[in-house]
Structure 1
């Protein structure tokens, strides 16, 4: 006899607002997504299994393109990547932000145009860089001083690779301290405060094999307020102005990363995308005009905001145990497929 399937919300939860838009109730309390019963999917593919609604993924891509019509929207592959997902993102006209040779090769195998990819990551291996150069990725984001010489050397004297420098603007934002990546003293990027970013920029400008197209920053994840992005934009524009004064160089691109928050429980806040687009664009235009800078093309990198509301993870319940006032529900999944709840208390709606 198989274990019961966890394909419905907890008893008493009638609000399906955090589920994919196509979620519907079936007889006996089960759910369907996109007209397909979740129990049927679990029986067919086994559990644990991720289920995504293609229509909702595409709809969210189009929402981003409509909100940021002049920007370069890149899907952050670390949120979720498969060959099908890469095809959907490509067909909807988004770029792709990848962080490893595995993501890069998977996207390439799915036919994603490499020139619309950006290679990211704070620990790029030589193979990561070599593969990116061989396939012709559009941009490589420099995350540490050592990468400047490494990328230049692997590019060779006959090549020229477009790069960006990831800057830590000193902005604290994000739903948990583990995912606040805009503050000093963490592993990503180069600090604006201690001059590391300015030093890296100068080094890149001294490498003829590298073309510095712009700056990049990512201030955190699960952010539901536009204000931290506005503070970060001001600091990035200030840095661009100093680079112009010091080196006579202006940039054509400014990547403000992602981290756009979504609701995991009914009633939780999500980032207002329309407000973000309006305020971010206005802040960038005003700051560049005041500094006498040409307006760079904005880039953003939504990941969870596209993938998370469009999907669910299915598990089977293996046991239920009461210990004092607590009830523990054991499922057939864990750290290998859903590490976030264990690492820093992210919501696991199905077993709450």
Structure 2
């Protein structure tokens, strides 16, 4: 079947990638169905923008809290702030009973500005600066100490009437991570803390790569014994943090299986290939994964029996379905792969707003074309408005429902977690895309403001 794209007849070929449609929340459908909202925002801002819906962050917090309550475990949620700089996300944490995990003076002060109390902060990261340690202790934040030198510096600060609250970060066995302390270093830290009245040891923490619930439950169980040992030395040791790594379910299982089983570099512009992808289908995401961790090997019962609070630090999972990214189509041209034509779009932003590309991977949930109009499915790749061949938002030939025209909006769904701003840059002196916050109004309407 032929279609006309910029005066060129294009036939969809068998080498086009199969669709990978994203799960959409009701609020996202409402925003997409509004005949004016996105177009008006785009006109007002004059460039690409991100949309945040903080009410969804509140729901996600509620889901994790419900998993703790169901397991009858004393649990606390710390939002991994590095996942998104949005002030609205931090405000949602303050409003819905979550703390915030920060790793810099800037992140700490930004969280305080949005109403998160000092005692609700966890401070992580390696070799923290003296300024960060000083500010954290002044506000009563919980510090995850990464090395012995940091512990020594903390002991000499003496900046607060109350002892500094710390956890010791454990290096998991057989891990190649540069973070955390070995068994010998943990033992040295416990010795150093004996009789140290300026530091209060509240527990232990770890972080695991990947999304394995069993591995997290197993290591958490082992750290219960560390807490009990620390108590024999006079430390309270009442908290364990298992970090983040809670999966997010972006796309349906069938679409993900079809892609992973049949993926072919011929589906991609210039025959591009990638070694790995984020697991965009995750059968037990977020709170369901937390429930599985708590159920494994009686972990919830062991935490209750030993009066231990479990802390988690989700970033991506706390932002699941809480935002999307909007680009405007600036140009379109026709390219061919083995004589099969496809569209190559240029949009008014860069792949720095889809950070997966900068980790030599691809952000795979299909973008949506706005406004929705009838048309013929059109295989489409998406390039950025820079002078870099490698700056592609979508190497994969996405089967858009119609040919995109200049001025259309291309919407990448579910980008709030680690996609919007972790690698943002004003390359070419292009402005960094602003964030727009949607607020519910009467009659299913939205009102919008700029993120502070």
TM above 0.5? yes
SS of residue in 2 equivalent to 1:23: helix
The answer to whether the aligner puts 1:165 opposite 2:156 as a matched pair is: no
The answer to whether the aligner puts 1:252 opposite 2:264 as a matched pair is: no
The answer to whether the aligner puts 1:310 opposite 2:311 as a matched pair is: no
Q: CA deviation at 1:95?
A: 0.9
Distance change (3 Å), C-alpha of 1:348 and 1:320: farther
Q: CA deviation at 1:40?
A: 3.0
Candidates 344, 355, 376, aligned match of 1:339: 355
Question: Paired residue for 1:189?
Answer: 180
Question: Paired residue for 1:229?
Answer: 216
Question: Paired residue for 1:216?
Answer: 205
Question: Paired residue for 1:296?
Answer: 308
Alpha-carbon distance in 1 for matches of 2:198, 2:30? 58
Q: CA deviation at 1:335?
A: 5.8
Q: CA deviation at 1:233?
A: 1.5
For 1:97-246, list aligned pairs within 5 A. Answer: 97-134=101-138, 136-156=139-159, 158-170=161-173, 184-192=175-183, 195-221=184-210, 223=211, 225-243=212-230
Task: Check conservation: 2:137, 2:159, Cα contact below 8 A.
Answer: no
What 5-or-longer segments of structure 1 have no aligned partner?
1-9, 171-182
Q: Deviations over 1:174-196 (max 9, x none)?
A: xxxxxxxxx5222221234xx33
Distance change (3 Å), C-alpha of 1:51 and 1:201: farther
Distance change (3 Å), C-alpha of 1:270 and 1:122: farther
Distance change (3 Å), C-alpha of 1:191 and 1:20: farther
Q: Over aligned residues, Cα RMSD in angstroms?
A: 3.1
Alpha-carbon distance in 1 for matches of 2:150, 2:36? 47
Distance change (3 Å), C-alpha of 1:167 and 1:80: same
Aligned residues, how many? 316
Task: Check conservation: 1:119, 1:139, Cα contact below 8 A.
Answer: yes
Taking structure 2 as the reference length, the TM-score comes to 0.62
Question: Paired residue for 2:282?
Answer: 269
Q: CA deviation at 1:197?
A: 2.8
Q: CA deviation at 1:346?
A: 4.7
Distance change (3 Å), C-alpha of 1:346 and 1:304: farther
Alpha-carbon distance in 2 for matches of 1:36, 1:230? 48
Taking structure 1 as the reference length, the TM-score comes to 0.78
Question: Paired residue for 1:3?
Answer: none
Distance change (3 Å), C-alpha of 1:157 and 1:294: same
SS of residue in 2 equivalent to 1:55: helix
Q: CA deviation at 1:212?
A: 0.4
Alpha-carbon distance in 2 for matches of 1:46, 1:143? 44
Q: CA deviation at 1:60?
A: 1.1
Alpha-carbon distance in 1 for matches of 2:188, 2:344? 52
SS of residue in 2 equivalent to 1:104: helix
What 5-or-longer segments of structure 2 have no aligned partner?
1-15, 254-280, 368-393, 397-452
Q: Deviations over 1:212-245 (max 9, x none)?
A: 0001111125x2x421212221332243355456
Alpha-carbon distance in 1 for matches of 2:36, 2:364? 22
Higher mean Cα deviation, 210-219 or 273-282? 273-282
Higher mean Cα deviation, 65-74 or 277-286? 277-286
Task: Check conservation: 1:165, 1:201, Cα contact below 8 A.
Answer: no
Distance change (3 Å), C-alpha of 1:100 and 1:286: same
Q: If you compute each CA radius of gyration, which structure gives the higher value, 1 or 2?
A: 2
Question: Paired residue for 2:54?
Answer: 54
Q: CA deviation at 1:110?
A: 2.1
SS of residue in 1 equivalent to 2:101: strand
Task: Check conservation: 1:48, 1:316, Cα contact below 8 A.
Answer: yes
Task: Check conservation: 2:20, 2:251, Cα contact below 8 A.
Answer: no
